């Protein structure tokens, strides 16, 4: 891959991040910043699509999220960290692309259909929610990003971005770049209860979790319901504690065999996991305390990133306004 290729990715600012974010996204972001020109965005305009009734927490959530990015290893000297709403060209391009995007494309979007069914506590019958894939397309196309790190569940969104780019280019000239997917090799980390780790489920371990809280969460992890006594035969493949051992413990095969043989109990298994996770988390906890304590430092990073992002975005919009005859 060409080292000069540009990458655009972002997250909605919903507060602190957890280990699922770290293994699912952030580790890959850290790796990519070494080889590509990376733009990492706090997607606060996207947050409005579902949280439009109360915007009071978005700014603070952005600080918390960016602190986690830096804790995880995102380097502001290598990657551009910026806030979506501070680059007005996002809104401008979103409006323009909205004019040419067929309604049927948005109504067929699989994520739109799924979330309309699943999210019952919010009124999502608004244009912003229906049109958020167009805003996502604007985010990517504005920076002429040739690569977008996505999971397989997001491929439909990226294909829609390419379709919008092709439609624009067919109307006005070959200006927009059709981005390629960069499929991420992610390790799926389950939550404390065995479901997907998610703040909405309340089953997370935060990045930089305090040691006493971390250990209490391990104590509360679900274990094999059929293993009541230490010498009962265990079923590690269905045990949340073992899933963490498999991720963090180099000797997980030994633990697996001992569990199946009934030679180790769940209490000891949890105790060992506490120590392993505590050692893993310690450097993150220390670094995060330093970063989040200095809001001026975080604001400086965001302000500088906003300026760099505006410069790139404005160049793109000058080209687009020219082909639009504006």
pLDDT digit string, tens, across residues 2-18: 457 999 999 999 999 99
Listed in order, strand segments (DSSP E) in 239-283 are none
Strand partners, 6: 37
Q: For 174-191, what is the mean pLDDT?
A: 85
Instruction: Find the mean pLDDT for residues 213-242.
Output: 88
Go through 265-276 and write b for each residue having 16 or more CB atoms within 10 A of its CB, e for each that does not.
bbeebbebbbeb
> DSSP secondary-structure letter at 193?
T
213 has pLDDT over 60: yes
pLDDT of residue 185: 67
Q: Are strands 79-83 and 180-183 parallel, antiparallel or unpaired?
A: unpaired
Mean pLDDT of 274-301: 97
Least confident stretch, 86-95, 126-135, 214-223 = 126-135
Query: Could you give the CA distance from residue 10 to residue 84 in angstroms, rounded to a whole number?
Result: 9
Phi, psi dihedral angles at 315 (to 5 degrees): -60, -45
- Give the start-end residues of each E strand in 37-115: 37-42, 79-83
- Write down the mean pLDDT value for the chain: 91
Confidence category of residue 156, pLDDT binned at 50, 70, 90: confident
Ramachandran assignment for 126, one of left (phi > 0), alpha (psi -120 to 50 degrees), beta (any other): beta
For 1, the token pair is 């891959």
Q: Which two tokens stand for residue 121?
A: 């506590």
pLDDT tens track for 236-248: 888 999 999 999 9
Q: Which of 43-47, 89-93, 110-114, 175-179 has the lowest mean pLDDT?
A: 110-114
What pLDDT does residue 147 have?
93
Mean pLDDT, residues 73-77 taken together: 97
């Amino acid at each position: 891959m060409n080292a000069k290729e540009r990458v655009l990715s972002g997250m909605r600012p919903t507060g602190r991040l957890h280990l699922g974010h770290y293994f699912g996204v952030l580790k890959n972001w850290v790796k990519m910043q070494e080889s590509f020109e990376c733009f990492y965005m706090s997607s606060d305009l996207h947050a409005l699509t579902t949280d439009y009734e109360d915007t009071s927490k978005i700014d603070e959530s952005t600080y918390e999220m960016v602190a986690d990015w830096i804790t995880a290893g995102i380097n502001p000297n290598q990657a551009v960290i910026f806030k979506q709403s501070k680059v007005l060209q996002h809104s401008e391009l979103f409006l323009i692309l909205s004019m040419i995007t067929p309604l049927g494309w948005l109504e067929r979007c699989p994520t739109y259909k799924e979330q309309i069914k699943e999210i019952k506590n919010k009124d999502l019958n608004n244009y912003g929610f229906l049109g958020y894939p167009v805003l996502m397309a604007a985010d990517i196309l504005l920076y002429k990003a040739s690569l977008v790190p996505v999971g397989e569940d997001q491929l439909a969104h990226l294909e829609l971005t390419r379709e919008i780019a092709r439609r624009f280019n067919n109307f006005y000239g070959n200006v927009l770049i059709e981005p390629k997917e960069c499929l991420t090799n992610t390790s799926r980390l389950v939550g404390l209860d065995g479901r997907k780790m998610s703040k909405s489920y309340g089953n997370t371990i935060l990045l930089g979790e305090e040691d006493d809280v971390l250990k209490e969460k391990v104590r509360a992890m679900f274990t094999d319901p059929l293993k009541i006594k230490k010498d009962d035969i265990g079923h590690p493949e269905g045990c949340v504690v073992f899933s963490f051992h498999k991720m963090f413990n180099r000797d997980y095969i030994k633990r697996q065999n001992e569990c199946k043989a009934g030679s180790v109990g769940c209490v000891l298994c949890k105790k060992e996991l506490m120590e392993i996770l505590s050692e893993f988390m310690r450097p993150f906890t220390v670094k995060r305390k330093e970063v989040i304590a200095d809001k001026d430092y975080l604001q400086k990073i965001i302000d500088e990133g906003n300026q760099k992002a505006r410069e790139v975005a404005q160049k793109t919009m000058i080209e687009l306004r020219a082909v639009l005859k504006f």
